[in-house]
Amino acid sequence: MRLLVFIALKHLLARKRQSLVSLMGIILGVAFFLGISSIMQGSEEDFIKRLVDNSPHITISDEYREPRIQPAEKVYQNSLVSIRNVTPLTETRGLRGYEKILNELRSTPGLLASPVLAGQGIITYAGQEKAITLSGMIPEEIDAVSTIRNYMVEGSLDRLFGNPDGILIGINLAKDLSLSLNDMIAVVAPSGDVKHFKILGIFKTGRGGYDRGQGFIHLKRAQTLFNKPNRINSILVKLDDPQLALSMSKDIENVIGYKAESWQEQSADLMNTLVIRNIIMYSVVSAVLIVAAFGIYNVISTVVMEKHRDIAILKSIGFQSEDIRRIFLIQGVLLGIAGNMVGIPMGIAMIKALSQIKFKPPGSSDIVYMPVSWGWEQFMIAASFALCASVLAAYLPARKGAQLMPVDVLRGGS
């Protein structure tokens, strides 16, 4: 084998320029593969991270996925019973026995849960009225299930801790109503109750609707405002491993009966888009490497053509067809390995360079860096794809070379 590698290497080194050109094909193929897959992968991860971080991994709400089975249907199970105009059963009382559910959830390792009572309210200020969704939460637990702290631009989340009459609102609402920190606002509940809140913090998430129509208050205050003492209507759950959300939500739903929706379920359409995006990306970068493989095929078949005499000599000396085939296959492998050895560092440099690119998304004042991924899988894919392509490209000419009979060459030569 060492001898065959030696011969293969000599063949490649004898035609440096050609070998180099085909090598460049693989190098660029691998580098671009890495560069492109890194941004695609990076932006996907970034996207999912935002999606996952900014929303609860599982939302348990006071609804049922299926309408309740009517007693008549239970009794006449195998007969034709059609019940129409069943009024949907809404749990106006919120989640029943939520403390028990919470305790059960909290005893699960790797899981954080916090109760929420959400409701609609109207903010009136200086004669204007704005509708707002108010989430009543336990301030100390907000961090566990929400990332709102990261988006505070004025005031702070901590100020809400000791101040039951505080409220956090979005920056768009603050602008619309010319509100600023520490201003007092009145909130009107659907029941007509009015409560006054002091603005303790203003957040800016970048999502316009959220920044205009969302507010956070104390759970207890929400319960009094909406006249639902000791009730909540949803539980937000965060998991240590967001990927488990789908299966975990099913388990939860089976146990407690209420609808538990995972983030994957809530954004199924987006996840589909990502899959399609990945398919497109991999076909494009694979095409680059396939083109590179043709370069290798070209070089090795040229070598085989030029080396007819050498093949005849080697065979007359006593080399087997198998040896000849290996000599040329090894050339493919060597080109593949060399291509990876230069292409991967080049790809790494490319990813580094990409990660330095700063840009400002339209409508935002923040500067964002290009999201890149350093996942080892893409390196594995690029390396093995390049190697396989090289070996495959070398295989056909190698087989042809191996089939060559020495007499055919000798007859032609003498």
Partner 1 sequence: MNASPVILRTENLVRTLTTEALPVTLIRGASVDIRTHEFTAIKGPSGSGKSSLLYLLGLLDAPTSGRIFIDDFDITDYNQKRTAQIRLEQMGFVFQFHFLLPEFSSVENVMMPMRRLGKLNDREIRKRAIEKLDRLGLADHLDKLPSQLSGGQRQRVAIARALANDPRMIFADEPTGNLDSESSKTVQGILKDLAHQDGCAVVAVTHDPEFAKNCDRIITVVDGQIVS
Q: What are phi and psi of 268, to 5 degrees?
A: -60, -40
Q: Shortest distance, CB of residue 405 to partner 1, whole angstroms?
A: 7
Query: CA torsion sign, 239 to 244 to 249 to 255?
Result: negative
Binding residues among 136-175 for partner 1 as defined by CB under 8 A? none
128 binds partner 1 (CB under 8 A): no
Report the residue number, 73 or 306, with the smaller CB distance to partner 1.
306
Half-sphere exposure of 382 (CA within 13 A, CB side): 33
User: Strand 152-155 to strand 194-203: parallel, antiparallel, or no bridges (unpaired)?
Assistant: antiparallel
Report the residue number, 10 or 175, with the smaller CB distance to partner 1.
10
Report the residue number, 303 or 389, with the smaller CB distance to partner 1.
303
Binding residues among 11-70 for partner 1 as defined by CB under 8 A? 11, 13-14
Q: Shortest distance, CB of residue 342 to partner 1, whole angstroms?
A: 23
Report the residue number, 75 or 317, with the smaller CB distance to partner 1.
317
C-alpha span between 337 and 340 (Å, rounded):
5
Angle at 386 (CA atoms; ends 381, 389), nearest 5 degrees: 120
Binding residue for partner 1 (CB under 8 A) from 131, 194, 280, 405? 405
Q: Shortest distance, CB of residue 360 to partner 1, whole angstroms?
A: 57
Strands (E), 11-127: 58-61, 111-125
Token readout for 264 is 């994957």
Report the residue number, 83 or 410, with the smaller CB distance to partner 1.
410
Report the residue number, 312 or 334, with the smaller CB distance to partner 1.
312
Q: Shortest distance, CB of residue 331 to partner 1, whole angstroms?
A: 13
Query: CA torsion sign, 217 to 221 to 225 to 231?
Result: positive
Q: Shortest distance, CB of residue 328 to partner 1, whole angstroms?
A: 14
Give the range of 61-69, 93-101, 254-262, 403-411 binding partner 1 by CB under 8 A.
403-411
Binding residues among 274-333 for partner 1 as defined by CB under 8 A? 309-310, 312-323
Q: Shortest distance, CB of residue 337 to partner 1, whole angstroms?
A: 20
Q: Shortest distance, CB of residue 399 to partner 1, whole angstroms?
A: 15
Q: Say how many C-beta atoms besides its own lie within 10 A of residue 28's C-beta.
A: 19
Q: Say how many C-beta atoms besides its own lie within 10 A of residue 337's C-beta.
A: 15
Contact 2, 323 (CB under 8 A): no
**Which three-class secondary structure state does DSSP give residue 201?**
strand
Token readout for 271 is 């996840």
Q: Shortest distance, CB of residue 338 to partner 1, whole angstroms?
A: 18
C-alpha span between 410 and 2 (Å, rounded):
28
Q: What are phi and psi of 257, to 5 degrees?
A: 90, -30
Give the range of 7-15, 41-49, 118-126, 222-230 binding partner 1 by CB under 8 A.
7-15
Please report, as ranges, the residues that interact with partner 1 according to CB under 8 A. 3, 10-11, 13-14, 309-310, 312-323, 405-407, 410-411, 413-414
